[in-house]
Amino acid sequence: SEGLNSTLKDQIMSHPALHDALNDPKNGDSATKHLKQQASILGNIEKLKLLGPRRCFVEFGAGKGKLSHWVDIALKDAEKVHFILVEKVTTRFKVDGKHRKKNSVFERLQIDIQHLCLNKIPVLSKEKLPVVGIGKHLCGMATGM
């Protein structure tokens, strides 16, 4: 099963971008748990053929931005990649400020996702890049489907 036209099933996966971090003996149980979750999300994104250049990843409930961080690592030098990190509250120790690659741009929006309108985000209307929505932990009114 490939692409978005397939039937999705729960699948725990991994991704080589997180190999070293997952095998770091300094990680405690909590860090390892989060890394495994991020690796599985990344593996699933890749399996669905959504991991690639010339797109915009919108991380909902971004917190520190670690999921976008790992997507950026996995993409290496992919061209024209934008990240929009959406979070309701200000977060300390953000990782998006550490990314300085010329081919990827990080933008942070402080807004409740129930009020977010993607077609009003300038980079999306200007660049016309395909959008890939990602998230690790979401809750609240905007997630009820």
pLDDT of residue 46: 94
The model's pTM is 0.84
Q: What's 93-135 look like in SS3?
A: CCCHHHCCCCCEEEEEEECCHHHCCHHHCHHHHHHCCCEEEEC
With a pLDDT cut of 90, the percent of the chain lying above it is 61
How far, in Å, are 15, 48, 50, 64 from residue 36 at the CA level? 9, 18, 19, 17
Cα–Cα dist 26/23, whole Å:
9
pLDDT digits (tens, 9 = 90+) for 54-101: 999 999 999 899 999 999 999 988 999 999 999 998 876 667 666 666
Q: Which domains does the chain have, with CATH numbers?
A: 16-138 (3.40.50)
Q: 1, 133, 12, 15: which is closest to 75 by C-alpha? A: 15
